[in-house]
Amino acid sequence: MKTVTVIGAGVMGNGVAQVSATGGYKVMLNDISNDALTKAMATIEKNLGKMVNKGKITEDDAKATLQRITITTNLEEACKDADLIVECVLENLELKKKIFADLERFCKPETILGTNTSAIPVTEIASATSRGEQVIGIHFMNPVPLMKGVEVIKGQLTSEETMKITLNYVEKIGKESAIAVDFAGFIVSRLLDVLMNEAIKLVQEGNSPEEIDKAMQLCAGHPMGPCTLLDLVGAEIAMHGMETMERDFGDRYKPHPLLKKRVQAGLLGKKSGKGFYTYDN
Ligand SMILES: NC(=O)c1ccc[n+]([C@@H]2O[C@H](COP(=O)([O-])OP(=O)(O)OC[C@H]3O[C@@H](n4cnc5c(N)ncnc54)[C@H](O)[C@@H]3O)[C@@H](O)[C@H]2O)c1
CB 173 within 8 A of CB 15: no
Q: How many domains does the chain have?
A: 2
C-beta of 237 in contact with ligand 1 (< 6 A): yes
With contact defined as beta carbons under 8 Å apart, do 212 and 249 qualify? no
Domain presence at residue 277:
no
**Which runs of consecutive H residues, i.e. helices, occur in 151-264?**
160-172, 188-204, 209-220, 226-233, 235-249, 257-264
> Does the CB atom of residue 271 touch ligand 1 within 6 A?
yes
On whether residue 279 sits in a domain, the answer given is no
123 within domain boundaries:
yes
Distance from C-alpha of 31 to C-alpha of 232, rounded to nearest angstrom = 21
In this predicted structure, what is the pLDDT of residue 246? 98
CB-based contact 193:119 (threshold 8 Å):
yes
Within-domain flag for 281: no
The 10s digit of each residue's pLDDT in 179-192 is: 999 999 999 999 99
pLDDT tens track for 232-254: 999 999 999 999 999 999 999 99
CB of 114 within 6 A of ligand 1: the answer is no
The protein residue with its alpha carbon nearest to ligand 1, atom 11, reads: 88
Contact 83, 90 (CB under 8 A): no
Q: Quick one: 45 and 132 in the same domain?
A: yes
pLDDT tens digit string along 36-93? Answer: 999 999 999 999 999 999 999 999 999 999 999 999 999 999 999 999 999 999 999 9
CA of 206 to the centre of ligand 1 (A): 32
Whether 12 is in the pocket of ligand 1, judged by its Cβ within 6 Å, is yes
